[in-house]
Structure 1
Amino acid sequence: MSKPTPSAGDLPVRRVDRVLAFMSLGLLLLSILSFLAIMIGTASGFDFTTGIGPLVGVVTYIAPILAFALMLTVLIMTFVRRARANRAR
């Protein structure tokens, strides 16, 4: 068995990491909601060619890509910060 690492050696979570993670989660939720809106709207006969319909369609395609990019940014920033902290020890 490996020894548990002490929590005092862990790096604190920075505000920018937390903001990017919550933005990613928010974009994913927005994408799911817009997908459900398209499904419900199509079943009820809503016309998605006018009004807010095209925006809902674009959000469904763009939001997951942006959410993935934000989460990847958080992961890269965390790995770089931990590598620098381990190198300094």
Structure 2
Amino acid sequence: MTANNPSNVSRLERTLAFMLLGLVLLSVVTFLAIIIGTWQGMGSADFAGGIWPVVVMVPYIGLPLAFLLLITLMITSMVRRSRDNKRTTTQR
């Protein structure tokens, strides 16, 4: 029987995964803040002042960027697995 050695996840993949998680969580939290603010009676003029313009823009930028990070993470994972596969087939 051959032992299946799990390949180590690279630092790049781990960094991409944490960035993806952070962006999604930040976007969801700001989205919930907008929903709660609207529920509390804030209007369009109220969202135009203070820190609210930044809060409103985070989901617009964060979620597409998180999607791009997800695609990048999937590609790097596939490349790593392909290299590991080639390495194990040539050792046999």
Per-residue deviation, 1:70: 0.8
Count of residues paired in the alignment:
84
Structure 1: 5+ residue stretches without partners: none
Q: In the alignment, what sits opposite 1:40?
A: 36
Q: In the alignment, what sits opposite 2:49?
A: 50
AA matched with 1:72: I
Q: In the alignment, what sits opposite 2:70?
A: 71
TM-score normalised by length of structure 1: 0.82
Coordinate RMSD, CA, aligned: 1.6
**Counterparts of 2:20 and 2:3 in 1: how far apart (Å)?**
29
Structure 2: 5+ residue stretches without partners: none
Q: Of residues 1, 4, 16 in structure 2, which corresponds to 1:7?
A: 4
TM-score normalised by length of structure 2: 0.80
Percent identical: 50
Per-residue deviation, 1:52: 0.8
**Counterparts of 2:81 and 2:39 in 1: how far apart (Å)?**
49
